[in-house]
């Protein structure tokens, strides 16, 4: 059965923007009669107690999911199988570059900003042997395209650049772009709802999925929550988490109502919001939140920009 998902990293509490994306992922999945899965992406930063806190926050918001919570740290063999597939197809090469190496080489006129310049793509075996004695290698995908096109429910057709991106880090840990593609396919997830800051990564992931002969997914990259300066909302902005807001007198249902109103949805219950949910009617601009002016009786400081 088809599924959607929410996949937080257990690095801290979920703020209003995270909770809004989780709620949207739930609405997209339930409105299309998909299963809704929860996956903890714990291959990178993990803060003790963060996963339990996040699950408590999602439950308090009224969200439910199907089946057990999955964790990337328990799925390493799936990534190993994908790496073997790519290696057997000649799709991988060792890369010994540091971030500084890449930043300096990427300043060349022919290299797109932020993209890998191809430094290690065609090293000889003797050159690779010499480099291995200096530092361990990451594994990069040998991309055969410069761009790839995806279809997004909110952004339409989107073509993004594809470079030789990392699929296994030099510490042996699978990179995000590999893990998320393998996870979604193996778990039957065909609908990916996440923040629009990840839209530019969708072409890389869709291209990798095609090389692994995996079914395509349906994307919906939703607007972010921003602070008044136009930066992505973060815990450092103040009272933007459930814990902080409840400490200031908010009820969890008030917080959920605030999020639903920011989406132009009725705030009485999740059921009424689900009945009214229409992706075509969602705000397309960011939700600007001013934590310094939020109060449990006046939420006018948090409004969607339409």
Residue 201 known to bind ligand:
no
Do 212 and 86 share a domain, yes or no? yes
- For residues 15 and 238, what is the distance between their CA atoms, to the nearest angstrom? 10
Q: Is 256 annotated as a binding residue?
A: no
Same domain? 47 vs 176? no
Instruction: Kindly state whether residues 165 and 261 are assigned to the same domain.
Output: no
Tell me: do 91 and 207 sit in the same domain.
Answer: yes
Same structural domain, 92 and 180: yes
Share of the chain above pLDDT 70, in %: 91
pLDDT value at position 164? 96
How many independent structural domains does the chain possess? 2
50 is in an annotated binding site: no
Q: Give the domain-ending residue among 192, 222, 252.
A: 222
Mind listing the pLDDT tens digit for each residue in 228-287? 888 888 777 666 889 889 988 899 999 999 999 999 999 999 999 999 999 999 999 999
**pLDDT over threshold 50, residue 17:** yes
Q: What is the pLDDT of residues 137-151, one digit of tens each?
A: 999 999 999 999 999
| Segment 105-127 mean pLDDT | 79
Q: Are residues 25 and 62 in the same domain?
A: yes
- Confidence grade of residue 301 (pLDDT, cut at 50, 70, 90): very low
120 marked as part of a ligand binding site: yes
Q: Is 95 annotated as belonging to a binding site?
A: yes
Is 97 flagged in the annotation as binding?
A: yes
Q: Is 116 annotated as a binding residue?
A: yes
The pLDDT of residue 296 = 54
Question: Within this chain, do residues 63 and 148 fall inside the same structural domain, yes or no?
Answer: no
Domain span at residue 151 reads 76-222
- Tell me: is residue 5 an annotated ligand-binding position: yes
At 107 the pLDDT is: 59
Q: What is the CATH number of the domain that holds 267?
A: 3.40.50.620
| Range 99-127 average pLDDT | 80
Q: Tell whether residue 8 is among the known ligand binding residues.
A: yes
């Amino acid at each position: 059965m088809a599924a959607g998902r929410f996949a937080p990293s257990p690095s801290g509490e979920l703020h209003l923007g995270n909770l809004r994306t989780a709620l949207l992922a739930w609405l997209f999945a339930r409105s299309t009669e998909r299963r809704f899965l929860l996956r903890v992406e714990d291959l990178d930063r993990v803060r003790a107690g963060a996963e339990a806190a996040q699950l408590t926050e999602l439950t308090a918001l009224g969200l439910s999911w199907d089946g057990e919570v999955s964790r990337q740290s328990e799925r390493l063999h799936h990534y190993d199988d994908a790496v073997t597939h790519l290696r057997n197809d000649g799709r991988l090469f060792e890369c010994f570059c540091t971030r500084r190496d890449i930043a300096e080489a990427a300043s060349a006129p022919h290299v797109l900003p932020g993209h890998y310049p191809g430094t290690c793509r065609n090293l000889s075996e003797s050159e690779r042997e010499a480099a291995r004695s200096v530092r361990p290698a990451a594994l990069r995908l040998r991309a055969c395209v410069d761009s790839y096109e995806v279809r997004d429910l909110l952004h339409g057709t989107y073509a993004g650049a594809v470079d030789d991106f990392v699929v296994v880090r030099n510490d042996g840990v699978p990179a995000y772009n590999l893990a998320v593609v393998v996870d979604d396919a193996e778990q039957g997830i065909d609908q990916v709802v996440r923040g629009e800051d990840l839209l530019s990564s969708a072409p890389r992931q869709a291209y990798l999925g095609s090389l692994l002969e995996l079914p395509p997914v349906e994307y919906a990259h939703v607007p972010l929550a921003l602070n008044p300066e136009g930066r992505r909302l973060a815990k450092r902005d103040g009272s933007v988490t459930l814990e902080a807001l409840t400490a200031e007198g908010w009820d969890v249902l008030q917080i959920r109502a605030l999020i639903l109103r920011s989406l132009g949805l009725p705030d009485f219950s999740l059921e009424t919001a689900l009945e009214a949910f229409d992706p075509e009617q969602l705000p397309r601009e960011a939700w600007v939140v001013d934590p310094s002016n939020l109060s449990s009786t006046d939420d006018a400081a948090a409004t969607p920009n339409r």
